[in-house]
Chain A
Amino acid sequence: MKIWDPTHECISRDELEQLQLERLQATINRVHKNVIHYRKKFNELDIIPEDIISLADLSKLPLTSKDDLSHNYPYGMFAVPLREVVRIHSSSGTGSKPIVAGYTKNDIRIWSNLVARFMTAAGVTHDDLVQVTFHYGLFTGAFGLHYGAETIGASVIPMGTGNTERQIMIMQDYKSTVLVSTPSYALELAFRIEQLGINPKSLSLKVGLFGGEPWSEKMRNELEQGLAIKATENYGLSEVIGPGIAGECSCKNGLHLYEDAFLPEIIDPDTGRVLPAGAEGELVITTLNKEAFPLIRYRTRDMTSLDYAPCACGRTLVRMKKTNRRSDDMLSIRGVNVYPSQIEEAVFGAVQGEAPYQIVVERTQAMDSMEVIIEITDKIFALELQKQRSFLELVKKRITSIAGMSASVKLVEANSIPRQDGKIKRVLDKRQI
């Protein structure tokens, strides 16, 4: 199978480490010069760029968390003047403000080529028709895959989200060969195709490129059968670049992480200590060639491990294990990342005080849903019925605006949410992925 960028994807470890060191040093020089946040952090630890003389020295530098990005909202972490930025994306922050990431022309080009790597690895060529069912907007997913496909020379069908019947009609009529989606939405498509009595083998689909949320091998089997495709996974974070950090090859044995662009580390999420190769821990990423929004030791909160053993496909880049666990409480619901802290902000804001609440996440067939249960407090109880109803509406609206997704909200009697040691479990995730 073809390799998009053999120079980098099949580079020897020795040459790769030299390139990584050069790019790491250049990135550190740039952020030290241009990003006040990093300069301050380096100064606090009494570190100058010249202290970094090996890849291992990276661990001397401070970790960067999502909160650091939030505190520098909106443009504080940019390393270039705003006029050099050609694109802005954002992703959910832990509070009401999103994280803002910028891209220069080069960043977009680098990004497109990284996406082209895993698309090519999955078997996508310039003869393919790629149906993108991600949401086009501030999220990076749709644009990343869109540009990657165009870079390869494939034809893109930019469907966007929703309208499952129409998606299936277009899939049949336009003869889409590649499906880009979240695994849960692909499952939804597979269910509907079955309901409509369409034989999946009659479709032209051959490859599914899935990402945006964790999924299991069981789901992969369901998708491969239900859609008659080869299902591959790709990994990315909007803060880092979007999709295109890592992707599976045809061996489906871990995701090749594009180490010439991203330097990975695995840390113990509690102590922050770097763990030896092969150990499971939290993935930390340092960008090596991003211009507008470079990140030094960014905590992804995704738990994984790295495998440096050579892969049968010929790519030499390290493989990361599928991530199914996080080291924080972020929820991935229908491909949208939601933090319980965002829901809390919405609820407490509407109550104008505190109220006991619980977030319940469920999956019926392939669809995830979120319900927020709030216990009646004296303050809410004192409201007239009419006002109680508009209170619920207010909470819903706040959740939509802060978390970027809808949720159902209901009131329950005081003390009716089960407690453990007097505490309510904030999130009840009933999904079995």
Chain B
Amino acid sequence: MLRIKNINTFYGQVHAIKNISLHLAEGEIVTLIGANGAGKTTLLNSLSGIVPPKTGQIIFKESEINHLAPYKIVRLGVSQVPEGRQVFKPLSVEDNLELGAYLNYRITGGKTQAKQDMEMVYELFPILRQRRKQLAGTLSGGEQQMLAIGRALMAKPRLLLLDEPSMGLAPMIVQEILKVIANLSREKKTTILLVEQNARAALKIAHRGYVLETGRLILEGTADELLENKDVQRAYLGRDKKEIWER
């Protein structure tokens, strides 16, 4: 479904993504793990076209998307849920969701589809239905995260890019959100690329994962393999890497 080959992304002079290759199969949940500054968000931004890669290839469903503008990538079925939710705070929940359907609305011109999709989001996150007239800025962190995911789903993505959905949330809420993400993959067959600091939680719902370190991929493996890997355990625990040799 998604195939990336040798992408390199720069912020000015800073080489943030170094020659990364990865893939996602249809319906898979794949997680990207790595410490702060490893390049996880940059990789998502490269995929969604916000920070296009300088070299390399991103192939989504047989078409190359690395040179496309972000809105065209969304139209092809790739939606990103940005880090820190980024909901439109002065707008109501409902308006936020409608904005998520903006591109589809422009194409099909029909409002009924958007209404159905909104129902689907309310079913996933019943709390949003209760809050639908409320301004997004007045929601709790967890609710805002649900709204951000819901807004992304309104574009009917085949591939959902999730950036740190658990950030700053209470453990209970994190569990709930991860459960919905797992459901999306299982029932709606949405393919999901999940970036998480909370590696353990992410690996519990993911099929596979990649470990990023200073812009490079250093490991690919099944969720079980990665949970067992000491580099992952270190990254998850936030411990510093000790010297290699301890005789």
Q: How many residues of B contact A (CB 8 A)?
A: 29
Give A128 Cβ to nearest chain B Cβ, in Å: 26
Residues of B within 8 A of A19 (CB): 23, 220
> Chain A 53-65 against B: per-residue CB contact (8 Å), 1 yes, 0 no?
1000000000000
The answer, yes or no, to whether B75 is at the interface (CB within 8 Å) is no
Given contacts A29-B217, A106-B229, contact A34 B244 (CB under 8 A): yes
B217 and A25 within 8 A (CB): yes
Residue of B whose beta carbon sits closest to that of A74: B247
Contact B247 A82 (CB under 8 A): yes
Contact B22 A75 (CB under 8 A): no
Does A379 touch B at the CB level, under 8 Å? no
Residues of A within 8 A of B219 (CB): 26, 30
A84 within 8 A of B: yes
Chain A CB within 10 A, most for which of B18, B220, B228, B242: B220
CB–CB A81/B244 < 8 A? yes
A29 x B216 contact (CB < 8 A): yes
* Contact indicator B246/A81 (Cβ below 8 Å): yes
Residue numbers in A under 8 Å from B19 (CB-CB)? 25, 49-50, 52-53
Task: Tell me if A23 is interfacial: C-beta within 8 Å of chain B.
Answer: yes
B230 sits at the interface (CB 8 A): yes
CB contact under 8 A between A81 and B218, given known A19-B23, A25-B19, A53-B19: no
- Smallest beta-carbon distance A298→chain B, Å: 20
With known contacts A49-B19, A49-B216, A75–B225 Cβ distance under 8 A:
no
11 contacting pairs across A/B (C-beta < 8 A): A25-B217, A26-B211, A26-B219, A26-B220, A29-B213, A29-B218, A33-B213, A49-B216, A50-B8, A81-B244, A82-B245
Which residues of chain A from 26 to 52 have a CB within 8 Å of any chain B CB?
Answer: 26, 29-30, 33-34, 49-50, 52
In the complex, chain B residues whose CB is within 8 Å of the CB of A23: 220
Q: A22-B22, A83-B246 are in contact. Are A291 and B229 (CB under 8 A)?
A: yes
B18 contacts A26, C-beta separation under 8 Å: no
A126 on the B face (CB < 8 A): no
Contact with B along A286-301 (1 / 0, CB 8 A): 0001010000000000
Shortest beta-carbon distance, B4 to chain A, in Å? Answer: 9
Nearest CB on A from B174, distance (A): 26
- Residue B5 is within 8 A (CB to CB) of chain A in the complex: yes
User: When each residue 140-170 of chain B gets 1 if its CB lies under 8 Å from chain A and 0 otherwise, what string results?
Assistant: 0000000000000000000000000000000
A29: B residues at CB distance < 8 A:
213, 216-218
B228 and A22 contacting across the interface, CB-CB below 8 Å = no
Q: A19-B23, A30-B219, A33-B218 are in contact. Are A104 and B247 (CB under 8 A)?
A: no
The A interface, classified by DSSP as helix, strand, loop or mixed, is helix
Given A104-B230, A109-B225, A53:B6 Cβ within 8 A:
yes
Chain B CB within 8 A of A332 CB: no
Report A-chain residues with C-beta under 8 Å of the C-beta of B242. 81
- The answer to the question of A71 belonging to the interface, with a C-beta cut-off of 8 Å to chain B, is no
Given contacts A22-B23, A84-B230, 13 further A-B contacts (CB under 8 A): A18-B3, A18-B5, A21-B5, A22-B21, A22-B217, A23-B220, A29-B216, A30-B219, A34-B244, A80-B230, A81-B243, A110-B225, A289-B221
Q: How far is the CA of A133 from the CA of B18 in the complex (A)?
A: 48
Enumerate chain B residues within 8 angstroms of A49, measured Cβ to Cβ: 18-19, 216
Bound together, the chains give a CA A104 to CA B227 distance in angstroms of 13
Determine how close the nearest CB of chain B comes to the CB of A289; give it in whole angstroms.
7
The chain B residue sitting closest to A35, CB to CB, is B244
Which residues in B have their C-beta under 8 angstroms from that of A50? 8, 18-19
Whether A106 contacts B225 in the complex (CB less than 8 A), given A22-B22, A81-B242, comes out as yes
Cβ–Cβ < 8 Å partners of B21 in chain A:
18, 21-22, 25
**Which are the 9 A-B pairs with shortest beta-carbon distances?**
A53-B6, A50-B19, A29-B216, A84-B230, A22-B21, A29-B218, A26-B217, A106-B225, A21-B21
Tell me, rounded to whole Å, the shortest Cβ–Cβ distance linking A189 to chain B: 38
Please indicate the chain B residues that have their CB under 8 angstroms from the CB of A34 in the complex: 244
What is the 8 Å Cβ interface bit string for chain A, positions 71-110, against chain B (1 contact, 0 not)? 0000100001111100000000000000000001110011
Question: Which residue of chain B lies nearest to A21 when distances are taken between CB atoms in the complex?
Answer: B21
Q: Please report the C-alpha to C-alpha distance between residue A84 and residue B246 in the assembled complex, in whole angstroms.
A: 11
A16 to B210, CA, bound (A): 17
Contact B246 A82 (CB under 8 A): yes
Of B3, B211, B245, most A-chain CB atoms within 10 Å: B245
- Contact pick for A106, options B3, B211, B228, B244, CB 8 Å: B228
Of the candidates B213, B218, B228, the one having the most CB atoms from chain A within 10 angstroms of its own CB is B218
Return the chain B residue nearest A19 by Cβ. Answer: B23
Inter-chain CA distance A50–B243, complex, in Å, is 24
A265 shortest CB reach to chain B, Å: 19
Smallest beta-carbon distance B179→chain A, Å: 26
Chain A: CB-nearest residue to B217: A26
Task: A211 to B168: give the CA distance in the assembly, Å.
Answer: 55
Q: Which residues of A contact B247 (CB under 8 A)?
A: 75, 82
Tell me which residues across on chain B come within 8 A of A26, comparing CB atoms: 210-211, 217-220
Contact B245 A81 (CB under 8 A): yes
Known: A81-B244, A291-B229. A106 touches B221 (CB 8 A): yes
Q: Within the assembled complex, what's the spacing in Å between the Cα atoms of A29 and B219?
A: 9
| Bound complex: CA A119 to CA B246 (Å) | 37
Residues in A neighbouring B6, C-beta threshold 8 A: 53
A312 CA / B21 CA spacing, docked (Å): 32
Residue of B nearest to A105 (CB): B228
| Chain B residues in 8 Å Cβ range of A25 | 19-21, 216-217
